Amino acid sequence: MTRLAVVTVVSGRHGHLRAQRAGLAEAMSPPAVHVVVAMGDPTVGAVLDESPVPTTLVTVGTDHHRLPLATARNRGAATAIDAGAELLVFLDVDCIPTPDLLERYASAAADHPDTLLCGPVTYLPPRESPWTTAELAAATDPHPARPNPPDGVVVAGDDPDLFWSLSFAVTPQTWRRVGGFCEDYRGYGGEDTDFAAVAVVAGIGISWVGGAHAHHQHHPVSRPPVEHLDDIVVNATVFHRRWGRWPMAGWLDDFERAGLITRSAQEIVVRN
């Protein structure tokens, strides 16, 4: 049986973390472990103690409120690999796994060990009470911008920019080839696209795993995400320096139309 680790990075969002761990209680079987990386949040441990899910807690500090998402994921992966994990499954703290998610990823990794494995994600509507497994199944309606293969089918992707870290799996060997997430990125945005770009250069593809469904719990967001404007501009500039193109084009276009930034071929300027 594959030794599997689920890696989740968290700062706040304790209600979402509880719901995720309730889902993991149905999805996980030995020898699996939940590696939770707390980013500047000393209260996470109390939440983890509420659940019997096997858990390893890792802590990292923050830098002026810019969450170190890339660093935290790397720390979680290193912890899992050092403990003998044979498959890493990354789940955003907002994501509730379906009971079959881990099994689908493990099966796909057995046949496709040298690729980034991504599962479909459904964005849930607002909800006050907890979701039941049956209700989640009925609500399944994956994001239309990404592939949704039939259950048990693995389809090679042709656009690495569709990769996201909400839900994906990777073997330790492939993780080492990519080298983890670039820690030049701090705060919101860009590190996902960079990770996939590095994978492509390393000859690693992206595959979409049918049936590996996750459900993203609702939380308020702005469109475009103006609360993350500074992070997005800084991280987009890091990406441009590394790859010679602008990532997150939709958000940058929206910011520009709103008069929040001006952009040239070489730089972004935030307008005061």
Range of lowest pLDDT (160-164, 188-192, 218-222, 230-234): 218-222
Domains located in the chain, CATH noted: 4-216 (3.90.550.10), 226-270 (no CATH)
Q: What tokens were used for 194?
A: 């960079």
Burial class (CB in 10 A: 0-12, 13-18, 19+), 140: middle
pLDDT at 3: 96
Q: Give dist(CA 234, CA 231) in Å, integer.
A: 5
**Which residues, in sequence order, are CB contacts of 272 under 8 Å at separation 6+?**
none
Q: What is the mean pLDDT of residues 167-185?
A: 98
Instruction: State the Cα torsion 249-254-256-259 to the nearest 10°.
Output: -160
Percentage of the chain beyond pLDDT 90 is 89
pLDDT at 221: 73
Mean pLDDT over each residue of the chain, to the nearest integer = 95
Q: Give dist(CA 143, CA 145) in Å, integer.
A: 6
Tell me: pLDDT of 65 over 80: no
Q: What tokens were used for 131?
A: 């979701």
Q: Are 109 and 180 in contact (CB under 8 A)?
A: no
Tell me: pLDDT of 210 over 70: yes
Tell me: pLDDT of 219 over 90: no
Q: What is the mean pLDDT of residues 66-74?
A: 94
**pLDDT tens-digit readout, 5-25:** 999 999 999 999 999 999 999
**pLDDT tens-digit readout, 28-63:** 998 999 999 999 999 999 999 999 999 999 999 987
Tell me: pLDDT of 64 over 70: no
Q: What is the mean pLDDT of residues 226-249?
A: 94
Tell me: pLDDT of 66 over 90: no
Helix axis angle for 229-243 and 249-257, nearest 10°, is 130
Q: What is the mean pLDDT of residues 139-145?
A: 94
Task: Output the pTM of the full model.
Answer: 0.96
Q: What is the mean pLDDT of residues 258-264?
A: 92
pLDDT at 63: 74
Q: What tokens were used for 27?
A: 């999805």
Tell me: pLDDT of 193 over 80: yes
